[in-house]
Structure 1
Amino acid sequence: MKIVFATNNPNKLKEVQSLIPKKIQLLSLEAIGCTEDVPETQSTIEGNAKQKADYIKTHYGYDCFADDTGLEVEALHGEPGIYSARYAGKQRDANDNMDKLLNNLEDKPNRNAQFKTVIALHLSGKTKTFTGICKGAITTAKRGKDGFGYDPIFKAEGFDQTFAEISLAEKNEVGHRGKAVRQLVAYLTKL
């Protein structure tokens, strides 16, 4: 089976490829000639995932799946949420985003947060979604060199290390994207 993963993020592609069985070949947006920014204009994480999957199917004709992920911080009423990638501005800089989040939490004792990923699969004319949530907390400083996005300031429940301090295998085991991808893989392997 060949299927498009609607992302231009090489880190997401690597993370998801490590969870997909060899019999499912992932194609990137680059591989299908999609170089434009895929729209994300919905008001929910689920809506953005569906919009991206529908866009690829409509404009390129491929069965595909797309994900949208947001970091939801309790003390900030769910921020940055759907704006996670561009929290500090259109430049989509991870360090700027983390700095802004740490600054906004500076005087807040509640550091509870969760990562939420929704994957929308557009296959054979139907759309199905899969959701993965990882609860945890925001640290007071960046730690670790691996991972991407907010990984240096997020530690999952039961961990003392941030996502940037643990291995990709550990992150995939407990993380939001890994949980959603495993649901997707289970669904695809039943077909």
Structure 2
Amino acid sequence: MAGNFRFMMDQKDIVRFLTTTIDSFIQDRLINKEQRTQHKDQCAERLAAEDENGDKETEVEYSDQAVLANLDWGIEALEEAINTYNMETKLARLDYAEKMLQVCAMLNPKQKTAGVPNSYLSAWAHLNLSYLWKLRNNIQSCIFHALEMFIVDPFFARIDFAPELWKNLFLPHMSSIVGWYSEERHKLMMEVMPESSDFSYTADFDKVFNESL
């Protein structure tokens, strides 16, 4: 009985940790308009790069253009909701933003739209839906969409959408993996460059995780 009670308490601790960590991250993002703008520009550059890498001879279908437009309109409407002090306008823009963002959030992550992986578009939409539900004071839905972002596209959620959140949520639980990776990487580097005896395998975690062997 005591064991079951302890297990339940552990689950409550996990929920409390997720709630506190994600809520704090989303709140910080909502406060920092400059960061949101920079982040949107960064993601737009990523989309442009994907488009350039695609088949330039293939004409983008109208339906694909509409999906990308919905994402853009949804983000713009959300930004308007964040910036207005008129409650009626705020609620209306949030409703519109939700409809637009849901289009991308529900895309099949295994397919592409206009040459862009749907997983990227969907994860971006989930991040903005997390902002949206925070503005509606629905923390449960806010947390759901933040976690869904990591499920849909864990790689870009980590390096593009929410690197700070990834560090706080997941990195503390990956110390054994980090240690193993760093040690194996060190061994490999010593084989390739045996004179680099001072090579540190306690490299910056961002660099370690973002590079590929």
Q: Same fold (TM over 0.5)?
A: no
Q: What is the TM-score normalised by the length of structure 2?
A: 0.27
Structure with greater Cα Rg: 2
